Amino acid sequence: MGTFEGHLAHGIGLMAIGLWHVLNTARNYARSAPEQFESRPWFVANAHGSSRFATKYMELYVIMLFATVSIVMELFVSPDRHRPWDSDWSIPLSHMNSLEHAAIAIFFFLYALVALVVDKSQVQTPRGLVHALGALAFAQELFLFHFHST
């Protein structure tokens, strides 16, 4: 992701998910009484008709897919020599950017995975846990952007 195109692709992906959330949140607010409105950490993809690709968890699957692709690209495809570590298991300075970008993707993958497991298993979790994990993923992204290696 060190190139302009790589940053642009990730930015467009985050913007698309953000727009998806804004539109769904506004729709849910308009459909409910204001005192009964609750924000959701993710939204069901309602497909009209019966599509074999339509699934309740489409958003979470897409986040996990793109996070996995991003991690693989950052750690194994884009770096020189296609290895994120040297032979002595130290991190070469030239690969720090790639590891930082992969760390961002890992947090988004974990957020989507936990949201999926919590919803599918019907486990009783503290109220707002998935919201907190999503906020933590964005906070970690902000932290890494602020202290980004150059």
In this prediction, residue 50 carries a pLDDT of: 56
Say whether pLDDT at 134 is over 60: yes
* Contacts (Cβ under 8 Å, ≥6 apart) of 136: 107, 111
From residue 53, give the alpha-carbon distance in Å to each of 41, 47, 60, 81.
Answer: 21, 9, 13, 37
pLDDT in tens, 95-128: 777 788 888 899 999 999 999 999 888 888 888 8
8 A C-beta contact, residue 67 and residue 84: no
Burial 97-114 (b: 16+ CB within 10 A, else e): bbbbbbebbbbbbebbeb
In this prediction, residue 147 carries a pLDDT of: 80
Domain residues of the chain, as ranges?
4-146
